[in-house]
Amino acid sequence: MSEHPDFKTEPVPGLPEELPTGESILWQGRPVAWRLAFDALWLKWVLVYFAVLIVWRIGASASVMPLGAALGTAVPLLVLALVVSAVLYGVAMWQAKSTLYTITTARVVMRIGAAVSMTLNLPLTKVKAANVAIGRGGSGTITLEMDSPERLSLFMLWPHNRPWHINRPQPALRCVADAQSVAAHLGDAAEIMMSHPKIVAAPVTEGVPA
């Protein structure tokens, strides 16, 4: 699959710069397009809405005309449903192709944005908790609860955010395949960070033993 031309300047796919010495990539992946369409773009509820309209239209028409003619009255609604569904699925494919999630031994990097690309660097030291929601087929969403005073913009994150958290949006690896395995990689990265103690250089006062 060819990369988006805007990303050809990336030194490492999905990363804004080369990894520092000692940091390595544990996992990279994208959202599953059809899951993104159903979960983030509400394609399922759009289909349900049009199905209800079509059934109602046929039922109402069948009371005043033959069934064959009543079925014909629902054709415009069926065409509209197909067009809307195609548009939503196209948006989901565009979002999935322009997105690349990366888990390294020190951070989570989210290259997101279909129209305007941006990169979020989320240090594991700032991740307070990770929540995993697994759906059918093993795909799912991993939400990162950040221990940071900075507030992320929902407009900036969408659709890579935890659903229904509007006031305090949380970044999420949305609709990734084999979410359980991805969560395990995130757990491994957290363990690696915890096993490396942070060393802070303290000032040395002359004449006082260290």
H or E segment to which residue 9 belongs: none
Q: Cα torsion for 114, 119, 122, 123, to the nearest 10°?
A: 150
Residue 140 lies in a domain: yes
Residue 93's pLDDT is what?
95
Q: Above 60 in pLDDT, residue 2?
A: no
Q: Please give the average per-residue pLDDT across 61-90, as a whole number.
A: 92
Q: Are residues 42 and 21 part of one domain?
A: no
pLDDT, greater one: 153 or 35: 35
Q: Please give the average per-residue pLDDT across 50-64, as a whole number.
A: 92
Residue 208 lies in a domain: no
CA distance 8 to 6: 6
Residue 8 lies in a domain: no
CA distance 87 to 97: 15
Q: Are residues 124 and 23 part of one domain?
A: yes
Q: List beta partners, residue 31.
A: 176
Given a contact cutoff of 8 angstroms between Cβ atoms, the answer to whether 13 and 100 are in contact is yes
Residue 194's pLDDT is what?
67
Q: Please give the average per-residue pLDDT across 101-127, as a whole number.
A: 89
Residue 196's pLDDT is what?
54
pLDDT, tens digit, 9 for 90 and up, residues 166-205? 888 899 999 999 999 999 998 888 877 766 555 444 454 4
CA distance 69 to 94: 39
Instruction: Please identify, among 46, 70, 94, the residue that sits at the C-terminal boundary of a domain.
Output: 94
pLDDT, greater one: 210 or 107: 107
Amino acid at 105: T
pLDDT, tens digit, 9 for 90 and up, residues 65-74? 888 888 898 9
Beta strands in 91-139 (DSSP E): 100-104, 107-112, 118-123, 127-134
Q: Are residues 136 and 82 part of one domain?
A: no
Which domain CATH number covers 125?
A: 2.30.29.30
Residue 162 lies in a domain: yes
- Phi and psi (nearest 5°) for 172? -145, 145
Q: Are residues 152 and 67 part of one domain?
A: no
| Sign of the C-alpha dihedral computed for residues 133, 134, 135 and 141 taken in this order | positive
Q: Are residues 183 and 89 part of one domain?
A: no
pLDDT, tens digit, 9 for 90 and up, residues 16-46? 888 888 889 999 999 999 999 999 999 999 9
- Can you give the residue range of the structural domain that contains 67? 37-94
Q: Are residues 140 and 184 part of one domain?
A: yes
Radius of gyration of the chain, Cα coordinates, nearest whole angstrom:
24
Q: Are residues 80 and 134 part of one domain?
A: no
Instruction: Please identify, among 57, 74, 94, the residue that sits at the C-terminal boundary of a domain.
Output: 94
Residue 4 lies in a domain: no
Most confident of 22-31, 112-121, 124-133, 200-209: 22-31
Q: Are residues 106 and 26 part of one domain?
A: yes
Q: Are residues 27 and 108 part of one domain?
A: yes
Query: Domain tally for the chain?
Result: 2
Given a contact cutoff of 8 angstroms between Cβ atoms, the answer to whether 127 and 177 are in contact is no
Given a contact cutoff of 8 angstroms between Cβ atoms, the answer to whether 108 and 144 are in contact is yes
Instruction: Please identify, among 56, 73, 94, the residue that sits at the C-terminal boundary of a domain.
Output: 94
Q: Please give the average per-residue pLDDT across 109-119, as a whole number.
A: 86
Q: Are residues 114 and 26 part of one domain?
A: yes
Residue 89 lies in a domain: yes
Is this prediction's pTM over 0.75? yes
Residue 1's pLDDT is what?
42
Q: Are residues 77 and 104 part of one domain?
A: no
Residue 8's pLDDT is what?
53
**Alpha-carbon separation of residue 198 from 19, 69, 106 (angstroms):** 19, 75, 13
Q: Are residues 60 and 21 part of one domain?
A: no
Least confident of 120-124, 138-142, 163-167: 163-167
CA distance 27 to 58: 50
DSSP 31: B
pLDDT, greater one: 115 or 155: 155
Residue 210 lies in a domain: no
pLDDT > 90: what percent of the chain? 46
Residue 188 lies in a domain: yes
